Amino acid sequence: MTVLIPRTLAEYILLGPTGDRRQLQDSPILGDVWIAYASEAGPQELLITPYKTNTAGLVANWIDDEVDHDRLMHNASDREPRKIAYLQGVIAARLYFDEVLRVIVPTTNWWSSARIQSDMAVYLQAASGSQRINAVLDTVQEMAEHWSDPKTTKKSAGMLTALDRYAALAGIILWAAQTTTIGPDAKPAELAAAIKAGKGDIARLLTDLFSEILSRQEQNDANQRKQWKGSLVYQVSLNRRADMAVARSVPSVKADAARLLFTVNCAEIAWAVIDSGIQGDHICFKDATGKESRVVASFDFSNFRKIVNLDNLRIFNENEDPEIQQGKLKQLLPDGHKLPEGQKLKQAGAKLISNLVQLSRDARAQRPIHWELVEPFIEIKVDTRPSVSDHGTHVAGIIGARAPQKRAKAIAEDDRIDGMCPDIQLYDFRVLSQNSDEKDTEFAIIAALQYIRHLNERHDHISIHGANLSLSIKHDVRNYACGRTPICEECEHLVESGVVVVAAAGNYGFQSFTTTDGAFESYAAFSITDPGNADGVITVGSTHRSLPHTYGVSFFSSRGPTGDGRLKPDLVAPGERIHGPFRDGWGDLDGTSMAAPHVSGAAAMLMARYPEFIKQPRKVKKILCETATDLGRERSFQGSGLLDVLRAFQSI
């Protein structure tokens, strides 16, 4: 029975005691990965970053082959599929903890560094190795005892190297996965006692682990199996889940006045909404004629990982049962998928399977993703109903709803309102759905961002001018530097390509805390979430919808500055009780999710009126921030102030 290691104990071993936490995370396994494996049994969804010049394709193929080999050696072929897939600069994989230790870590620059190899030499010596492991485990045992009862006198712990901490925590997690001495819900004192009693088993697991790694490295060198030189992997993080950063607000930012005074027409501007999906046939998204939807296209990325999965070469091989293949194929196609005109799934199946096989072969050959092969699996009909919530439809409505022109009793007067840009073109990118794995959304968002770059690069003109991400992913300070996570880096790439990227600041401005003195609630600084931490992104906090000067920044709106000291949010916009379209009818929502699309709309208006700012996202950001209205609040709360579209136009 698996014993779960509490987060607090794992952090104690990895980083030191809470009151004296100066030890930095050193290994390529980032802190959130350690915590996930310690506190949850089974495989974890991971994002693996290649080392420097190595391509994601090379790394993905090596991992796929090595994990396959590892499972054969350990008679573990019945384990869950590894689901290895890659994009430019990042690999997604579903791996077990022991596979990360045996396959991934030995390929990192950290492992091959002189410092770690010197320490490893001590571990591998017959006599001194055993003594060193026992000494490390004795020190960790003291840590566990102090953790289980902080009132006890803390002994002077021996100095632990980065490898010592890595080895100790790895050994305890491996031991916890197979011990039967205590139950999964053991109390702290019971767990500390069990770790002490299991010291011999933990030492044996570590000795076996290091010996096997060394033996495998020698075999690979002898057989010349390595297709690369130096290091292969840089680091391993979790494939994080994204949350929705969940009434007439347009006048508050003076967008209606700017439209009237400057005759702004956004019909030539297109904006991507990366969210839960847009109800494309909603009446508010019709064009001026009331006939055609202004949602240009809809794409469902919730299954993307399965589409570019290296396993497809095995699933769709020539020897597989055609009926089984058809069943697998059906699982890959989202609701509302678009098949060739006049064809049903059975007729189109051969071509679709051919696409999947070719994508896997391209991956094996380390080629970039051939997006034309992917498109039949992600493009859906624009009237396909979003499966998760009204969130994406509401966000899109704030950007581009058009008040119904015809009077109809079925439509209330309060629902006859325009969004920021009632004539804008919209692209629907769905990264949240009932079919998606909630732990897999960061990879899907990165895929959507890269696909936007692809769409813009295949023409001599820009197809999508901006992207709105009303999504929130908590940044873990133990892992990446603030603003340097995979999703933040991908947003920076998109900005550098000429696309305006707007993100919600997050809804973590007011949080509950639990201490030894009990629970309490308070405002939280440094609470900006990803991708809002990215420097080039326009990060938006929330204010009252119509009385921002009176009520100031919303209590829930995440506060800055960023963890590395940069001013965020960049500005604020209405985010309380914002009225907008739902999948069925209209309704109100709150959150920085609702504030961000006001700024997206303002940026679109600016580029529509002044085309010279198209492909100049940093200039657009500068203008909007410099012309914002100061609400007289703390800068880390309000950023540059309240969005003011009219003043932005007048400044040019």
Query: Could you tell me which residue, 593 or 188, shows the higher pLDDT?
Result: 593
Give the tokens for residue 294: 């202004």
Preceding amide of 597 cis, omega within 30: no
- Give the confidence band of 353 by pLDDT, cuts at 50, 70, 90: confident
pLDDT (tens digit per residue) in 166-222: 888 999 999 988 887 787 677 888 888 888 888 888 888 888 888 888 888 777 766
Q: Provide the mean pLDDT of the chain.
A: 85
Checking if the pLDDT of 404 tops 90, the result is no
Length of the chain: 652
Are the beta carbons of 136 and 162 closer than 8 angstroms? no
User: Span 87-100, mean pLDDT?
Assistant: 94
Taking CA atoms, 72 is separated from 106, 215, 223, in Å, by 19, 16, 18
Neighbours of 128 (CB within 10 A): 12
d(Cα 635, Cα 484) in Å, to the nearest integer? 23
CA 544 to chain centre: 28
User: Span 222-240, mean pLDDT?
Assistant: 78
Which element (helix H / strand E) includes 426? strand 425-430
Bridge partners (DSSP) listed for residue 48: 91, 236
Q: Shortest CA distance to 420 belongs to which of 297, 249, 550, 305?
A: 249
Whole-number pLDDT of residue 152? 64
Checking if the pLDDT of 318 tops 80, the result is no
Whole-number pLDDT of residue 647? 93
Are the beta carbons of 273 and 468 closer than 8 angstroms? yes
Are the beta carbons of 203 and 171 closer than 8 angstroms? yes
Query: What percentage of the chain exceeds 90 in pLDDT?
Result: 43
User: Span 391-402, mean pLDDT?
Assistant: 94
Checking if the pLDDT of 314 tops 90, the result is no
Q: Shortest CA distance to 592 belongs to which of 620, 624, 553, 562?
A: 553
Neighbours of 626 (CB within 10 A): 13
Q: What pTM does this model have? A: 0.87
DSSP secondary structure of 597-614: HHHHHHHHHHHHH-GGGT
Backbone region of residue 595 per phi and psi (left: phi > 0; alpha: psi in -120 to 50; beta: other values)? alpha
Whole-number pLDDT of residue 241? 80
Whole-number pLDDT of residue 248? 45
- Give the confidence band of 247 by pLDDT, cuts at 50, 70, 90: very low
Most confident of 10-24, 135-149, 604-618: 604-618
